[in-house]
Every structure is written in structure tokens, then in C-alpha cells.
Amino acid sequence: MADTHDIANNSPVSTLRGVGPSVEQKLHKLGIKTVQDLVENIPRSFDDYSRLVDISKVRPGKVTLKAKIHNVSSRYSKNGLPIVEAIARDGTGQLHLTWFSQPYIKNTIKPDSDYYISGEFAKNYKYFSIVNPKIELVSSFPKHTARLVPNYRLTKGLSAAVLRKIIATALERTVIQETLPDWIIEKLSLMPRGEALKAVHFPDDVHMFESAKERLAFEELFVIMLASELNRKDFAAQNSYRHKIKEQKLKEFTESLPFTLTADQKIAAWKLLNMTTQDVPMNSLLQGDVGSGKTVVALMCAYNCVENGAQAALMAPTELLASQHFETCKKLLPASIMSKTILLTGSLSPKDKKSYQERIKKGDVAFVIGTHALVQDSVTFTSLELAIVDEQHRFGVEQRKALQNKADRMPHVLHMSATPIPRSIALTLYGELDVVTIGSKPSNRLPVKTTIVSSDHRREFYSNKLVEIVEKGEQVFIVAPLISDSEKSDSKYSVEKVSAELGRWAPNANCKVIHGKMSQEEKDKIMLEMKQGKVDILVATTVIEVGIDIPNATMMVIENADSFGLAQLHQLRGRVGRGEKQGYCVLLSTSKEANQRLKALESETSGFKLSEYDLELRGPGAIYGSMQHGALDLRIAKISDTKLIETTRDMAKQFIETQEELLKYPVLDERVSSIRAITNLN
């Protein structure tokens, strides 16, 4: 490769030879706008044409020759298809070359020139030939043959050969800036960045490619980890409120509960309470499986905060979930605290809303439970010292910041998530948080019995088993992947279709539907009717995945279960069996191939184990449909690689400890800053 470096990384791709307006437009469709985008466009796969063989030793399969091309001719098949044929000779023998629908090939071949010829040697009609071979004049740096040949994501009108040429030109003409300190590169024996980007596109061998990929994967995760650790450092530098643990009051509280706390709940509560005794603000994520009892742990923190003479707030994503938390408080909190607890939501009358806001401002209210109504400008706290955010991934960073900003200085912050998160995702997506996990469930909770039912027996199931459940006075959820049949999908069943069928199969049941296109007010109204027992069967999309607590609902039916991730299916089945009655989950499967994956749900009740299995099989999107701030949209690194994640986190901590100056590494600085801009809660 030439060594003429005269194009800046941020130059538009149009500055490169071979990139005219048409090609530039096609590159833009692929998200490639600058030279840097181009060199960081990692290949999707490779064709291995690295081993040259003599023609006399050619066998069927992928081959690469070094030969001259003779007897080039063209003709048309009976159906008008243009065919170019030629003979390749290398001194040890000769063989046929055949190109279909590429008539221009004939005029590009130079006689008496040595070519690299790569392709599939196979029987074509009466004789063996290489069909549609890639040919390239022999050089010291072949791009399309005689090597591991990269394949990229393409768009209509842009060939792999053209993209390879442009990338090779970009690698020749730009200086690739290093993003990592020398001491990290040396300590971990990493390739320098420039070498790695060249090797990931045009490696000499598989070993070189793997080394290049290892370096780039480290860098990809290091950016996320460094942003996370800097966020953590900034958060810890804030002054917060030092709380005393009111042990006697908490003991009285736990003894008054209608159930006994599990060992995990006690450990989690103690960890969190101890974090609030420091001047450094708590910034924790409380995660636990469905029904593990996260809410009572959060209430213990809120109770202790109130007993310290301060205010606490709990923000939930929907009015229904906020209302459920309020109802739980009525059952669990002592009257002395409940008298100073309110529910603040958008549906309150203007008069009640104003009254509540005045009480919060005066300090008459100690614990506020609500929706995003909590962060409106008209809400003013006197001494907010604990902010609890439930289902925190459903809120944007700005909403969470707005709640924190209601305090005079940084409050203690407790995030809650009902979605079991594999360790690697917790380290990556929530690296700035202290993760506290509740692993076990209350002993009195019966595990939900899960069964896979083939769609061949669907009608029989609905008209018999489902009707039997309804006739016992119990309630049923049915989840379908689509709202209507008009949506483009491989799924066969929609909310509308299932609802219509139930009219025939369960004519005496009161059925309602709920989905994401309905207003929040409509959804909350129907869910309240379900909670009050007025609805027998609720047909829904996954909007009912989290936070719905209806003890009388004993059956969850999931249509096209094959189309959901295991973690999501586990969340859905957690909506039933929340009372004393046995819960059932029926997975209606349309695919025999998927049954092996679904069978894991029949025997496994741990959401954490299922989420790890899901991560391995389907990636992070199976755990959260769309990941927060794109942090897990990794192009090279594997989110399941916990060892690499821990290494990058350790290096990020060392980077900060050595007081490295980020500005020395402009590319790294830019990327870290862009992630921090959308994740930093300060």
C-alpha cells in the first residue's frame, strides 16, 4: 500500500478517488459519510481465497490460481443470457472460466498478464470450470483475490469490489489516530489502532484478523466503560445527605409486614441503607426477578429517609403502576407515614393537583408517589433526599435528571428494574451504578406452570382449557405480537384476530383489548377494570409486560411465542400467579424448530438464568427490545464476553487513576463525550 497520507479522518468520502456523487449517495445510505466512517466500516465476513494452488492440483470447491487468461470469447445462451468464457493456464495445466451476465469482462482482460483468479471450481454443464470468478492483476496488495477477501453490508448499485477499492484508498491516504495510551497497548499486547484497522479489512491471515478484532473490540468497550467511570466519578464528587439508619423503626416496620422478608431482601435493604449513610450520593440499581419483592426493599429506604426528617419520591412510568405502588404503601406503611404520603399523577383535577403541590412545598408531605407529573416545574420539594425511579429504562435521562434537580443538592438515587439483567449487560449498560440484586423469591409464591402447545391444538385449547379457567372465576391474559393483521410480520396472530375468535370460543366471557396505540388514559381505564374483576380475558400486546399486579389472573397465553425472547416471555408469565392460586403460562408455538429454546421455560424459573441463555442465543435485544442510548449496539465486541468487559472496566479505572488527559486522544475524547452527553445524570 502507498504511504501518501493527505486526507483528514473527518473529510467527506467524496474527497476519495472513485467516489463520485452517485457512489457518495449510496455510501450515505450505509451511514458512511466521512473517511473515518469508511475505515471503521468493519467487514461482515470473509471469503478465504488466501491459498494459491496449481491448476494441476485443483479440486472442487473454493480455489485461487495465479495464471494467464487466454481464448476469451462471448456468446448468448438460448434464453438470451450473455456468457463469457476463457481458459486459464499456469504451466501445470489449464481449466475453463465462465462468467454469466457479465459481458463487460471480455474487454477488461489483458492478454499475457498474470492474474489472480478466485472462485468456486464446480461442474458446469458437461465440464468443470470456475463459475463467475473474481480476477485481479497480480500485485503486492490484491484486494479481491488471493487473500481473506472482506465482505461488507451493501446497498443497491454498490458492489463489494467497488467498496473494497474505496476502503483500500482511504486506508492509504489517511492517518489513523491512536485512541489508547501506550501503556494500555503494551500492558494488554494490543495492536496499534492504525495496524488494526488495516488488518481488519485486509488481513494476511486469520490470526492477524483475530488480533485486529481483539484490539478494536477492546476499544469499543473501553469508550463505554470510560464514559461510565467518569459519570460515576462525577456523581460521587457530589455532596449528598447523610442518613442515620433508624434500626428500631425499621425493625418495627418489618415486624408489622404481612409476610417475612427473605434473606436476599434483608441483605439488599441493608446494602442500600448503608449507602445512604455517606456524604457521597447513592446511585444504585435494585434488580430482581419477577415477584422477588423489590418494592418492599425500596419502601424500607423511603421509610428510613422519612424517619430522617426528609422527603422521598418514587416515580413510575404509568399511572397504573404508580397507583399500584400507592396501594402497596397503604398495606405496608404505618399510618404515621401513610398520612404524609400522596399519589401525584396527571389525571388529578387541577384543584387536587394544586393542593398536593402546596403540601409538598410546605413539607406536609414526606413521601410522593407519581408519574412524570413529579418533574413538572410546578412541583417544589422542601427536602427531597431520596429519588426512586421504577422501571428506570422507560424514562429518558432528562426526566431522571429533572427529578434529581428537585433537591437542593444531589439526592440518593435508587433505580429499580424488574428485568433480570445478565452480568455483562449490567457492567456495560449500568456501569456507573452499584447493582444490588435480589436473587430469591418469597417461599409462599407458587412457581407458574409453563406448557408449550402446538398451534395445531390451538382451537382445542381455547375452547376447553381457557373456558374452564374463566368459568372458575379466574382471569386470563392473552398476548399477541401484533395489533392487527395488516402489520407486516411472520406472526400469524394479532390482538384483533384473537379478540374476534374469542367471541366464538368463549361467548360468555367479558373480553377487552389493550395495545400501544391506545392513549394512556384508555389503557389505565381497562387495566383498572381488569384489576376490579370486570374483565375475564384481556387480549394485549406486550404493554402489559411489566408492573401489572392482578392476583386473580391465573393464566397467561402467549400467541406466536417463538417470536419473543426468553427474558420477555419470563416477564410476561410473571404477570400471573401473583396470588395464592396456581398460575399457568401457555406458549402457543408455530415452529417445531423453536421448541427446544422454549422448553427452557418449562423447566427454568430463574429469570437471570433465562436472560443469560437468551443473551447467548439472541443478543441483548431479546432482553430489552431497544437498548438504552445504543450502548449495546456493538459492532465488534460481544456483549456476552464478560472477561473482556471486566478488563476494559479495569483499564478505564486505571486511566482515571493515572490522571490521563483525554484531550490527548481527540477521537477517544469525542466518543466518550458523546456517550456522556446522553447518560450523565449530573
Would you kindly state where each structural domain of the chain is located, as residue ranges?
51-146, 247-277+291-417, 449-604
Record the cell numbers describing residue 543, joined without a space. 404493554
Give this prediction's pTM: 0.79
Q: How many Cα atoms within 13 Å fall on the side-chain side of residue 558?
A: 29
pLDDT at 682: 65
Record the cell numbers describing residue 317, joined without a space. 412510568
pLDDT at 3: 45
Contact 490, 527 (CB under 8 A): no
SS3 percent helix, strand, coil of the chain, rounded to 5, is 40, 20, 40
Record the cell numbers describing residue 30, joined without a space. 450505509
Record the cell numbers describing residue 229, joined without a space. 467511570
Q: How far is residue 625 CA from its own chain's centroid?
A: 6
Record the cell numbers describing residue 608, joined without a space. 437471570
Give the residues of the chain that fall short of pLDDT 70.
Answer: 1-5, 392-394, 442-444, 486-491, 545-547, 592-595, 618-633, 681-682
Task: Decide: helix, strand or coil at residue 47.
Answer: strand
Q: Which strands form 449-454's sheet, in the order they lie side by side?
A: 449-454, 584-589, 553-558, 475-479, 537-540, 511-514
d(CA 233, CA 290): 32
pLDDT at 2: 41
Given CA atoms 34, 40, 45, 49 in this order, what sign does their dihedral have?
Answer: positive
Q: Nearest to residue 72, comparing CAs of 101, 93, 99?
A: 99
What phi and psi, each to the nearest 5 degrees, are found at residue 51? -100, 115
pLDDT at 534: 94
* 85, β-bridge pairs: 73, 98
pLDDT at 300: 97
d(CA 491, CA 482): 8
Task: Decide: helix, strand or coil at residue 359.
Answer: helix
pLDDT at 270: 97
d(CA 581, CA 303): 31
Q: What's the CATH number for 247-277+291-417? A: 3.40.50.300
Contact 389, 283 (CB under 8 A): no
Contact 134, 118 (CB under 8 A): yes
pLDDT at 463: 86
pLDDT in tens, 538-586: 999 887 766 677 889 999 999 989 888 888 888 889 889 887 889 999 9
Name the helix (H) or strand (E) containing 89.
strand 82-89
In order, the DSSP letters of 191-211 are PPHHHHHHHHHS-SSHHHHHH
d(CA 42, CA 478): 42
d(CA 300, CA 656): 35
pLDDT in tens, 102-121: 999 999 999 889 999 999 99
In order, the DSSP letters of 224-293 are HHHHHHHHHHHHHTS--------HHHHHHHHHHSSSPPPHHHHHHHHHHHHHTTSSSPPEEEEEE-TTS-
Is residue 518 packed enough to be buried (19+ CB in 10 Å), middle (13-18) or exposed (0-12)?
Answer: middle
Task: Provide the pairing of β-strand 94-100 with 82-89.
Answer: antiparallel
Q: Which residues of 6-19 are buried (b: 16+ CB within 10 A; e: fewer)?
A: ebebebbbeebeeb
Alpha helices (H) along 389-512: 397-404, 423-429, 458-461, 467-471, 495-505
Record the cell numbers describing residue 579, joined without a space. 396470588
Record the cell numbers describing residue 635, joined without a space. 459492532
Contact 221, 631 (CB under 8 A): no
Q: Nearest to residue 64, comparing CAs of 11, 10, 121, 23?
A: 121
d(CA 22, CA 356): 61
The CATH number for 449-604, chosen from 3.40.50.720, 2.60.40.1120, 3.40.50.2300, 3.40.50.300, is 3.40.50.300
d(CA 334, CA 341): 11
- Identical fold at 247-277+291-417 and 449-604? yes
d(CA 109, CA 137): 9
What phi and psi, each to the nearest 5 degrees, are found at residue 630? 65, 10
Record the cell numbers describing residue 232, joined without a space. 460515576
Max CA distance (Å), the chain: 98
Own/partner long-range contacts of 136-144 (Cβ < 8 Å, ≥24 apart): 137/110, 137/113, 138/66, 138/113, 138/114, 141/1, 141/168, 141/202, 142/116, 143/168, 143/202, 144/118
Name the class of domain 51-146. mainly beta
pLDDT at 641: 87
pLDDT at 7: 86
What phi and psi, each to the nearest 5 degrees, are found at residue 144? -115, -5
Record the cell numbers describing residue 450, joined without a space. 409453563
pLDDT at 630: 52
pLDDT at 326: 93
Q: Nearest to residue 547, comparing CAs of 287, 316, 285?
A: 316
Type of residue numbered 53: V
Q: Which residues of 546-568 are buried (b: 16+ CB within 10 A; e: fewer)?
A: bbbbbeebbbbbbbbbbbbbbbb
Type of residue numbered 30: L
d(CA 35, CA 41): 10
